[in-house]
A and B are shown apart, each in its own frame.
Chain A
Amino acid sequence: MQVRWLFGLGMITLGACETMTMTEPGNLVPRTVTEDPSLPAITINGTRLHAETRGSPGKPVLIMLHGGPGADYRSLLRLADRFDGYSLADHYQIVFWDQRGAGLSQRHDKAVLTIDQYDADLLAIVNRFAPGQQVTLVGHSWGGMYGTSFIDRHPERVKEAVFIETGPLRGSTFERIKGDMYDVKVMREWLNDMLWSTQFFSADDHIRMDYQLTLGAWRSQPRNNARRGPGAQPGWRNGAKVARYLMEDGQDARGRFDYDFTTNLRAFPGRVLLIAGSRSEVLGPTLQQEQLPLYPRARLEVVPGAGHDVNWTNTAQVMQLIRSFLTAVNVRGEQ
Chain B
Amino acid sequence: MWAAILLAGAIPAVAHGQWNLARLTPGESRMHLTTGVDPAIIPSIGYNRVASLFGRTAQVGVEAGVVAGEADVRDFRARLSGQVQLVRYRGLRLAASAAAITRGTDNDLFRAVNFGADLGATGGFYRRGLFLAAEIGFDKAIITHFAHSQQYRDENYAEAKDGWYLDNGGTWRFGVVSGVAIGRTELMLRAGVPRTQGGESLPLPAYLSLGVGVRF
Contacts and interface: CB of A to CB of B under 8 A. Distances in A.
Does A associate with B in a complex?
yes
B170 A202 contact: yes
A120 to B, nearest CB: 28
B139 A199 contact: yes
A19 B5 CA distance: 15
A190 B204 CA distance: 14
Interface residues of A, number: 55
A230 B154 contact: yes
Interface in B129-182: 139, 141, 143-144, 146, 151, 154-157, 159-161, 163-171
A328 interface: no
B207 to A, nearest CB: 10
A204 interface: yes
Contacts of A201: 141, 144, 165, 168-169
B77 interface: yes
Interface in B42-72: 42, 67-70, 72
Determine the interface band of chain B, counting residues with CB < 8 A from chain A: 35 or more
B109 interface: yes
Contact of A200 (B2, B67, B144): B144
A198 B163 contact: no
A203 B200 contact: yes
Interface string B178-210: 000000000000000000111010111000000
A193 B40 CA distance: 7
- Of B112, B155, B159, B167, which is in contact with the most chain A CB atoms at under 10 Å from its CB? B155
A21 B167 CA distance: 7
Interface in B77-130: 77, 103, 105, 107-110, 112, 114, 116
A232 interface: yes
Contact of A196 (B75, B116, B161): B75
- Of A23, A196, A234, which is in contact with the most chain B CB atoms at under 10 Å from its CB? A196
Given A14-B3, A196-B105, A202-B169, A29 B161 contact: no
A203 B141 CA distance: 12
Contacts, number: 174
Nearest to B71: A189
Interface in A194-237: 194-205, 208, 214-216, 218, 229-230, 232-237
Interface in A15-67: 15-23, 26-30
A232 B69 contact: no
A208 B157 contact: no
A197 to B, nearest CB: 6
A183 B17 CA distance: 35
A7 B10 contact: yes
A192 B69 contact: yes
A293 interface: no
- Of A10, A22, A191, which is in contact with the most chain B CB atoms at under 10 Å from its CB? A10
A123 interface: no
Contacts of A197: 105, 112
A111 interface: no
A27 B151 CA distance: 17
A176 interface: no
A79 B105 CA distance: 37
A3 interface: yes
Contacts of B70: 189
B161 A20 contact: yes
24 contacts: A14-B3, A14-B6, A14-B7, A17-B3, A18-B163, A19-B166, A20-B165, A22-B168, A193-B40, A195-B204, A196-B39, A198-B171, A198-B203, A199-B116, A201-B144, A203-B169, A204-B200, A218-B108, A218-B109, A229-B108, A232-B155, A235-B156, A236-B157, A237-B157
Given A19-B143, A201-B168, A204-B197, 5 more contacts: A20-B161, A28-B146, A194-B203, A199-B77, A199-B171
